[in-house]
């Protein structure tokens, strides 16, 4: 029976444990689970909750015992703690063990792996593109189902080590995506890290206004959706940015340029402003439409946007919501909306 050790029992570590234990029971051999999951966390509360959820078969009360006999070690700590975790486990890993991580940045983590982990083990960097704002309380065996799992092997990782990590990814229902560590960091800076920066910036901008007390009673779904990421862990967001400064800076500059376009349009004459703003929002809408309608090999929507799509145009839907049938009525012959008195 193989042993998987999970170091860090938050949302991601707990969900990995739940998923692997479910897979192990489904794939029993001689009436025994295919693997056992050992967990460790510096927080006794997290460790106890993981046991209560049955995310681990057993918890180890120190990191040495957790990894000593492990065939696969999953480091699921915050990114800033990974260097210390690698140093702590390095002397106690058995030869031939495989180490992987779930960090949101990869170049720095792989450098730490190269520096601190022994050459007798294989290190394969990883990053599941899935998550929630909750901690261990939100752990879910299906969290990674259909999600992309970035895989970035170190230079000394063997084919067997890579296959071991791919096996874990498959057991959790995720789709592996091989990527260069530098490319990974550049990509996720735009599609993962920039969104929580923008969410936090929105929250700070409006909540710092003297009118916020009255404004917040008017917030609705749009504000809730955009501000959701601001509820995440400040320490986690800080550490991600500090280990990916150059790439995030580039995307902050890019979105600042987009906002500058809007600011310039608002300052222009009415005709120029109308054309510029129409082009701005049309280009964004069309780009999102292309993104939201991507499909998997099985024909399923890749981004889980099915509830957003309908046979009717979004603009028509909004028009009817506010104006009823008047939004769709046209004057005969000229195609313009019918005026009402």
Stated pTM of the model: 0.81
Q: Which of 200, 199, 197 is nearest to 241 (CA)?
A: 197
- Per-residue pLDDT tens, the chain, 341 aa: give them: 799 999 999 999 999 999 999 999 999 878 888 899 999 999 999 999 999 999 999 999 899 999 999 999 999 999 999 999 999 999 999 999 999 999 999 999 999 999 999 999 999 999 999 877 667 888 999 999 999 999 999 998 999 999 999 999 999 999 999 999 999 999 999 999 999 999 999 999 999 999 999 999 999 999 999 999 999 889 989 999 999 999 999 999 999 999 999 999 999 999 999 999 999 999 999 999 998 887 666 666 666 666 666 545 444 444 444 444 444 444 444 444 444 33
Task: Identify the pLDDT of residue 17.
Answer: 97
Cα separation, 314 vs 330, in Å, equals 18
CA distances from 89 to 33, 69, 83, 146 (A): 26, 11, 10, 31
Angle (deg, nearest 10), helices 11-26 and 44-53? 30
Class of domain 180-247: mainly alpha
Four-way CATH pick for 2-179: 1.10.10.10, 3.20.20.70, 3.40.630.10, 3.40.50.720: 3.40.50.720
Q: Which of 88, 89, 74, 90 is nearest to 10 (CA)?
A: 74
Task: Identify the pLDDT of residue 330.
Answer: 42
Task: Identify the pLDDT of residue 297.
Answer: 63
Which residues pair with residue 3 across a beta bridge? 36
Cα separation, 125 vs 215, in Å, equals 44
Domain ranges across the chain: 2-179, 180-247
Task: Identify the pLDDT of residue 116.
Answer: 97
Task: Identify the pLDDT of residue 29.
Answer: 78
Contact criterion met (CB below 8 Å) for 67 and 89:
yes
Task: Identify the pLDDT of residue 99.
Answer: 98
Task: Identify the pLDDT of residue 164.
Answer: 97
- 10 Å Cβ neighbour count for 237? 18
| C-alpha 300, offset from chain centre | 20
Task: Identify the pLDDT of residue 309.
Answer: 60
Contact criterion met (CB below 8 Å) for 106 and 185:
yes
- 10 Å Cβ neighbour count for 297? 7
Task: Identify the pLDDT of residue 328.
Answer: 41
Task: Identify the pLDDT of residue 135.
Answer: 78
Instruction: Return the CA Rg of the chain.
Output: 24
CA distances from 280 to 20, 226, 264 (A): 45, 19, 12
Cα separation, 161 vs 70, in Å, equals 13
Contact criterion met (CB below 8 Å) for 76 and 102:
yes
């Amino acid at each position: 029976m193989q042993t998987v050790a999970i170091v860090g029992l938050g949302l991601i570590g707990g969900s990995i444990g739940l998923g692997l234990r479910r897979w192990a029971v489904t794939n029993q051999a001689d009436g025994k689970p295919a693997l056992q999951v050992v967990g460790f966390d510096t927080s006794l509360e997290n460790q106890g909750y993981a046991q209560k959820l049955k995310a681990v078969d057993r918890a180890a009360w120190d990191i040495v015992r957790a990894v000593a006999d492990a065939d696969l070690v999953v480091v699921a700590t915050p990114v800033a703690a990974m260097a210390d975790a690698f140093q702590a486990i390095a002397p106690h890993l058995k030869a031939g063990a495989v180490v992987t991580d779930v960090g949101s940045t990869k170049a720095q983590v792989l450098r730490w792996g190269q520096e601190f982990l022994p050459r007798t083990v294989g290190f394969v960097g990883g990053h599941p593109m899935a998550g929630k704002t909750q901690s261990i309380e939100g752990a879910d065996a299906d969290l990674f189902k259909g999600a992309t799992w970035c895989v970035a092997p170190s230079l000394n990782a063997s084919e067997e080590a890579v296959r071991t990590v791919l096996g874990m990814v498959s057991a959790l229902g995720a789709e592996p995506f091989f990527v260069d560590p530098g490319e990974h960091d550049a990509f996720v800076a735009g599609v993962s890290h920039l969104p929580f920066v923008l969410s936090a910036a929105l929250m700070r901008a409006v909540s710092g206004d003297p009118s916020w007390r009255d404004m917040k009673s008017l917030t609705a779904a749009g504000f809730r959706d955009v501000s959701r990421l601001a509820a995440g862990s400040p320490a986690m967001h800080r550490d991600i940015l500090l280990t990916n400064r150059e790439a995030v800076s580039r995307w902050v500059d890019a979105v600042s340029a987009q906002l500058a376009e809007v600011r310039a349009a608002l300052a222009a004459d009415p005709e120029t402003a109308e054309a510029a703003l129409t082009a701005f929002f049309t280009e964004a809408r069309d780009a999102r439409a292309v993104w939201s309608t991507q499909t998997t090999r099985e024909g399923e929507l890749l981004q889980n946007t099915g509830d957003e799509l309908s046979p009717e145009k979004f603009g028509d839907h909004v028009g009817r919501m506010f104006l009823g049938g008047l939004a769709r009525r046209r004057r005969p012959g000229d195609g313009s909306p019918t005026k009402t008195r």
